[in-house]
Chain A
Amino acid sequence: MTALCHFERNEVESRNLMHELGIVFYIIKDVKEAAEANGVKHVDAVVMDIGEVSTIVPEYLQDMWRWAADREELLKGAELKINIIPAVTWCDHCKCEYPTVEYGKTCPNCGSGETWLLRGNEVEIKQIEIKS
């Protein structure tokens, strides 16, 4: 048996093979739910908090957003506003915080590898905005 199971979710061109598209579908689903719950007919902007090390490329997310949002009555022309959240790592050895992108996994103060990301991997819908 070689069955085929095909997800007809989109007909995007092959240049768009990136996870930002999947993320956009999730954003749209959540925004639709929030809009419905609040009786909103049209959303003018969606505000996202995106962590610096979340693996999301904001430019790609914007591209995908335009493509997908304009196909929804609720989101036609809606702007996607992106707040970038700087990534910060905590060193458990010398109890300090340092910028993740610059120093990575190794603490610049004491050289320890006992470090954890405190923030900077968010992919969060902060709010939606409606012009009255």
Chain B
Amino acid sequence: MDEVKVIEIKKSVFEDNDKDAAKLRAELKHRGVYLLNLMSSPGSGKTTTLIQLLNQIKTKLRVAVMEADIDSDVDAVKIKEQTGVDSIQLHTGGMCHLDAEMTRQGLDNVKLQNLDLVILENVGNLVCPAEFDTGACRNAMILSVPEGHDKPLKYPLMFSVCDLVVINKIDVMPYFDFDIEKCREYVKMRNPKAEIIPICAKTGEGVDKLAEWILKEVNNWKTT
């Protein structure tokens, strides 16, 4: 029988990415640029929410958007057309998430010196993006009413890494037996510190609260 030589590694697969992410975050802090990592399921209304949000904050902040998708540039084009905000498309080449290195490569394509805020629209998926720290200052996620109020129970990691949970499509709540109080309770179970903002991206309801949150966040990031 062959002799087998064993070399111990004992290393978490996420260790290198975590280091890259911490480095990126420190650089962003130094440059005074706030990076928000926005996650959700496909079809939760990320792009529509962004368009509404951008139209409220674009006069107050210098902002750019990075759209991460497996393919196509429909979202980036839509953002540019409907808000005038610069938007770049990142293709993940089949990968279901962005890591810190890909985020950095994306940031190399926006002019950071002219920006206060970059919003990264991560790949629509509640599992993988939660595992890979992108280097963003904060993580936010959009949960839409048709997905159900028990989502935080099913995707614990996603909800435990998010600082902000936006509940979208609240206009259709009665049709989906969506219990918003239950939803709040489940989110808090995963992350007691998470902020929750209910909105309807279609009508614009609650988007002002979201704009307020982001303005405060960016201001804190730059001044503290």
Contacts and interface: CB of A to CB of B under 8 A. Distances in A.
A19 B97 contact: yes
Interface string B124-153: 000110011000000000000000000001
Contacts of A16: 94
A32 B128 CA distance: 24
A105 B190 CA distance: 9
B132 A22 contact: yes
Interface of B: 2-14, 16-17, 70, 73, 76-77, 80, 86-97, 99, 102, 105-106, 109, 127-128, 131-132, 153, 156-157, 189
Interface stretch (A70-78, A90-98, A124-132): A124-132
Q: How large is the interface on A (under 10, 10 to 19, 20 to 34, 35 or more residues)?
A: 35 or more
* Contact residues of B: prevailing secondary structure: mixed
B91 A2 contact: no
B8 A126 contact: yes
Given A2-B89, A4-B73, A26-B16, A128 B6 contact: yes
Interface of A: 1-12, 14, 16-19, 21-23, 26-27, 29-31, 34, 38, 40, 44, 55, 105, 113, 122-132
Contact of B73 (A2, A12, A34, A128): A2
A48 B41 CA distance: 29
B120 to A, nearest CB: 12
A105 B93 CA distance: 36
B128 A7 contact: no
Contacts of B127: 19, 55
A104 B100 CA distance: 31
B109 A5 contact: yes
A131 B93 CA distance: 35
Given A17-B96, A55-B127, A123-B12, A4 B6 contact: no
B89 A1 contact: no
Given A4-B88, A7-B102, A17-B70, A34 B7 contact: yes
A5 B132 CA distance: 19
B128 A18 contact: yes
Nearest to A46: B9
A125 B70 CA distance: 27
Nearest to A13: B94
A43 B9 CA distance: 13
26 contacts: A2-B73, A2-B77, A5-B89, A5-B90, A5-B91, A6-B90, A7-B91, A7-B105, A8-B93, A9-B93, A14-B94, A17-B70, A18-B128, A19-B96, A19-B131, A22-B99, A26-B14, A27-B13, A30-B16, A105-B156, A105-B189, A125-B10, A129-B4, A129-B7, A132-B2, A132-B5
Contacts of A38: 7
